[in-house]
């Protein structure tokens, strides 16, 4: 192989390796089943949420609840508000999930834009929780509506009582 040919082939190989590395998150065509219907949400979840809720949303005992039930919230308008508020403003105060208690602080993610927060919640609801596709995806507008009414994490905890009165 001449030097010239090597110079042409090497960058092509580098590109292939890079594409293979990206392949998991970015399907090249419809034939490659997408890993997520919400790739932006999946990426945001990996970057912002897994440290506490775990890569598949299973939670961490004593630290953060599993995220295997918020799909239920997405079925009611107050529940959808609750999801938006939780990511925008965080949550503080004791919650029960089944027979487990969590009482640690969920940080706020108001620094992320509306579309990113909506996609992150849709990733949780539809990909991690396998919610029925009859449910409407959460929109950036729904996030924007809650962003217009700033709350603190204690108020988010208080509102949760109206959507999960006896704990999920
Ligand atoms: C520092 C750890 C931490 C991080 C990071 C974190 N959470 Fe949480 N999350 C918690 C804790 C703790 C709670 C429960 C709060 C409480 O006890 O009041 C919670 C609660 C929640 C709830 C509400 C559950 C319920 O029953 O009402 C949702 C939804 C949620 N988190 C989603 C997310 C998403 C999405 C992200 C990423 C954008 C995220 N969390 C990042 C710790 C975290």
User: Does residue 19 lie within any of the structural domains?
Assistant: no
Task: Pick the most confident of 43-52, 92-101, 125-134, 156-165.
Answer: 43-52
The average pLDDT across 4-9 equals 50
pLDDT in tens, 107-136: 999 999 999 999 999 999 999 999 988 999
User: Does residue 61 lie within any of the structural domains?
Assistant: yes
Total domains in the fold of the chain: 1
Ranking 32-36, 81-85, 95-99 by mean pLDDT, the lowest is 32-36
Alpha carbon of 120 to ligand 1 centroid (Å) = 12
Give the number of C-alpha atoms closer than 13 A to the C-alpha of residue 134, restricted to the C-beta side: 4
Position 65 confidence tier, pLDDT thresholds 50, 70, 90: very high
DSSP letter, residue 106: B
* Tokens of residue 18, six digits: 């890079």
CB-ligand 1 contact for 138 (6 Å cutoff):
no
Position 77 confidence tier, pLDDT thresholds 50, 70, 90: very high
Position 4 confidence tier, pLDDT thresholds 50, 70, 90: low
The average pLDDT across 9-29 equals 42
User: Does residue 5 lie within any of the structural domains?
Assistant: no
State the helix-helix crossing angle for 153-163 and 77-89, rounded to 10 degrees: 160
CB-ligand 1 contact for 162 (6 Å cutoff):
no
User: Does residue 45 lie within any of the structural domains?
Assistant: yes
CATH of the domain at 98: 1.10.760.10
User: Does residue 76 lie within any of the structural domains?
Assistant: yes
What is the number of other CB atoms lying within 10 angstroms of the CB of residue 52? 16
Q: Tell me the CA end-to-end span of the chain in Å, nearest whole number.
A: 65
User: Does residue 28 lie within any of the structural domains?
Assistant: no
The closest residue, in CA terms, to atom 42 on ligand 1 is 106
The average pLDDT across 37-64 equals 95
Q: Is the dihedral of CA 125, 167, 147, 47 positive or negative?
A: negative
* Tokens of residue 24, six digits: 């998991």
Please answer whether residues 55 and 144 qualify as being in contact, where contact means their C-beta atoms are separated by less than 8 angstroms. Answer: no
User: Does residue 4 lie within any of the structural domains?
Assistant: no
* Stated pTM of the model: 0.82
- Domain enclosing residue 114, as ranges: 37-163
* Tokens of residue 84, six digits: 């938006």
């Amino acid at each position: 192989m001449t030097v010239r040919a090597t110079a042409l082939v090497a960058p092509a190989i580098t590109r292939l390796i890079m594409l293979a590395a990206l392949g998991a998150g970015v399907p090249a065509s419809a034939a490659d089943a997408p890993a997520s219907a919400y790739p932006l949400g999946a990426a945001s979840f990996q970057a912002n949420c897994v440290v506490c809720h775990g890569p598949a949303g299973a939670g961490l005992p004593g630290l953060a609840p599993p995220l295997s039930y918020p799909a239920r919230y997405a079925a009611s308008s107050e529940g959808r508000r609750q999801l938006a508020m939780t990511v925008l403003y965080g949550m503080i105060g004791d919650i029960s999930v089944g027979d487990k208690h969590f009482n640690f602080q969920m940080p706020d993610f108001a620094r992320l834009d509306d579309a990113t927060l909506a996609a992150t919640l849709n990733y949780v609801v539809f990909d991690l929780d396998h919610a029925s596709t009859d449910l409407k995806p959460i929109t950036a507008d729904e996030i924007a509506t809650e962003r217009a009414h700033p709350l603190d994490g204690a108020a988010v905890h208080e509102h949760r009582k109206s959507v999960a009165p006896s704990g999920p």
